Copies of this chain bind each other. A is one copy, B any other.
Amino acid sequence: MTDRSPPAGKPIRTAIADEDGIDFAIIELFFFAYRDFTSDPDQILADYGFGRAHHRVLHFVNRRPGLTVAELLDVLKITKQSLARVLKQLIDTDHVVQLQGPRDRRQRELYPTAKGRALALALARPQSRRIRAALEDSGASERALIERFLEAMVDPELRAQIDIVPAKMSGKSHGDH
């Protein structure tokens, strides 16, 4: 019994740094940034008994009023069952309403109520504040650049999901490439 079950690999004492050209710095920053980015709304959501999933649904229902359940599933990349509970809670608490689709009556178009819009705004406010502060801190005027970078981080096939958003209609035209 002098040695343990597996060969018990020896400890490596040197930090991984930017070995092999891997960009650990940005990988790690992305983790930290997202961790804190979500922490603000998480605290508000807790007061409502909601979680991050509720936030995401609320966000997209407000951004694209009238989207259907199937479209929402596609954007969130989760399963029907995962959405079901969360959506039901939002409907039961009068944050979201369902309307029968005008053309296809099988579809349920999702709309925020005034209550749902107010909550979406309350959740977005601290996040937007954080973004504004970060843009200032990091030598602003680069908003478009940050936007393009984040967009480029998204899977190319899925960028279509982004281009649906209404912001693009307000004459920004920072990229219809």
Residues in chain A within 8 A of chain B (CB atoms): 6-37, 39, 56, 59, 62-66, 77, 94, 97, 99, 111-117, 120-121, 124-125, 127-128, 130-135, 137-139, 142-143, 145-155, 158, 161-162, 165-167, 170
Complex interface: chain B residues within 8 A of A158 (CB): 32, 36
User: Which of the residues B9, B113, B117, B151 comes within 8 Å of A94, measured between beta carbons?
Assistant: B9
**Identical chains bound together, number:** 2
User: Which of the residues B11, B17, B99 comes within 8 Å of A111, measured between beta carbons?
Assistant: B11
Complex interface: chain B residues within 8 A of A77 (CB): 35
Tell me the complex Cα distance, A148–B31, Å: 14
User: Which of the residues B9, B21, B147 comes within 8 Å of A97, measured between beta carbons?
Assistant: B9
Contact residues of A: prevailing secondary structure: helix
Given A6-B94, A131-B26, A154-B32, the answer on whether A12 and B165 have CB atoms closer than 8 Å is no
Given A131-B27, A146-B149, the answer on whether A13 and B63 have CB atoms closer than 8 Å is no
Contact A63 B28 (CB under 8 A): yes
Contact A148 B138 (CB under 8 A): yes
Given A9-B115, A31-B56, A153-B37, the answer on whether A63 and B24 have CB atoms closer than 8 Å is yes
Contact A12 B113 (CB under 8 A): yes
Residue in chain B with minimal CB distance to A175: B138
Tell me the complex Cα distance, A94–B7, Å: 9
Complex interface: chain B residues within 8 A of A167 (CB): 17-18, 24-25
Given A11-B112, A13-B111, A120-B16, the answer on whether A138 and B131 have CB atoms closer than 8 Å is no
